[in-house]
């Protein structure tokens, strides 16, 4: 039963989460890539290059045990997601830029993860050919996003609009369900990871946020861009990392670090939202 929950339930949930991301996307959102290509490129470089470098250095500095190191590496290779878009919105960041970065990284990740996995996990191989792994990642990430965009573009009745609103709100609950499934399947191992793994995921999240802020400053971005980059680079897609660990690698124990991250990353995210709201209130009072 647990095996079915992991191998069937997690891909379905992740596909639904990515479908919800697609419902918030429009072709117009991609104009950021045309109008502000520097922002998109800088953000993607921080996500896809800077973040793995940070994770690799943390693995070496903390001498992390293999399951924790592998889980942290999977997290670093799975940037962005529905949660980063929602947090950016709550922090009054650049939502369109956040969504565009998520869309572009979602197109790249299915190809980058299988190629970069062996850097930290040389003895771990995908339990399927590379081409099949890429196609399966595309099936649960890219395909749902494209399908949702097409549906939203061609169907705009009031009933469908209600469905879109409900679906978008359900994405965070779906991520919670994915976390619950992983806990149920690996509950007996959770206590083994709470010490060093908790520290590692929090440091990864904080350093990634700092990288995002520094990247924004390097390209002379404003406060809104700094917040957006901090969230997009700092908040990882734990769902994709769990999917790779459980389905593609068939090693549920490697999903425990992403699972722990999915819980702990809410701490810095909540602080960002709170700081943003306080700043907005103070600004209104000053005006």
- With contact defined as beta carbons under 8 Å apart, do 208 and 215 qualify? no
Higher pLDDT, 82 or 57: 57
Average pLDDT estimate for 12-22: 79
C-alpha–C-alpha distance, residues 148 and 97, integer Å: 19
Q: What residues have CB less than 8 Å from 112, skipping those under 6 apart?
A: 48, 77
19-57 residue pLDDT tens: 887 787 777 766 666 677 888 899 999 999 999 999 999
- The mean pLDDT of the chain is 79
Average pLDDT estimate for 140-153: 83
C-alpha–C-alpha distance, residues 26 and 148, integer Å: 10
pLDDT confidence band for 273 (50 / 70 / 90): confident
Let me know the angle formed at the C-alpha of 44 by 175 and 255, rounded to the nearest 5 degrees.
Answer: 35
Let me know the angle formed at the C-alpha of 183 by 208 and 84, rounded to the nearest 5 degrees.
Answer: 30
C-alpha–C-alpha distance, residues 222 and 213, integer Å: 10
Q: Which pTM does this prediction carry?
A: 0.75
Average pLDDT estimate for 202-222: 92
Higher pLDDT, 124 or 257: 257
What is the residue-wise DSSP string for 235-271? SB-HHHHHHIIIIIS--GGGGHHHHHHHHHTHHHHHH
Domains of the chain with CATH codes: 2-281 (1.20.1530.20)
- Give the per-residue SS3 of 126-155: CCCCHHHHHHHHHHHCHHHHHHHHHHHHHC
Q: 236 pairs with which residues across the strands?
A: 79
């Amino acid at each position: 039963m647990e095996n079915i929950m992991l191998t069937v339930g997690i891909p379905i949930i992740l596909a639904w989460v990515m479908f919800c991301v697609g419902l918030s996307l429009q072709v117009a959102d991609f104009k950021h890539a045309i109008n502000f290509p520097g922002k998109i490129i800088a953000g993607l470089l921080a996500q896809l290059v800077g973040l793995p470098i940070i994770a690799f250095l943390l693995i070496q500095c903390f001498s992390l045990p293999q399951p924790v190191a592998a889980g942290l590496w999977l997290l670093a290779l799975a940037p962005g997601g529905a949660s980063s878009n929602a947090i950016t919105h709550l922090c009054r960041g650049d939502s369109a830029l956040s969504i565009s970065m998520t869309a572009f990284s979602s197109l790249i990740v299915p190809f980058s993860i299988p190629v970069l996995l062996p850097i930290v996990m040389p003895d771990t191989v995908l339990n399927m050919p590379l081409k099949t792994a890429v196609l399966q990642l595309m099936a649960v990430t890219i395909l749902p996003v494209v399908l949702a965009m097409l549906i939203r573009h061609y169907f705009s009745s009031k009933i469908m609009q209600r469905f879109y609103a409900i679906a978008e709100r359900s994405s965070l609950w779906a991520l919670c369900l994915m976390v619950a499934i992983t806990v149920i399947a690996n509950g007996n191992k959770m206590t083994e990871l709470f010490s060093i793994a908790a520290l590692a995921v929090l440091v990864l999240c904080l350093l990634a946020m700092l990288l995002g802020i520094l990247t924004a400053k390097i390209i002379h971005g404003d406060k809104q861009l700094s917040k957006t980059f901090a969230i997009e680079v700092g908040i990882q897609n734990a769902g994709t990392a769990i999917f790779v660990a459980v389905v593609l690698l068939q090693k549920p124990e490697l999903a425990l670090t992403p699972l722990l991250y999915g819980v702990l990353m809410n701490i810095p995210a909540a602080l960002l939202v709170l700081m943003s709201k306080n700043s907005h209130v103070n600004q209104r009072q000053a005006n």
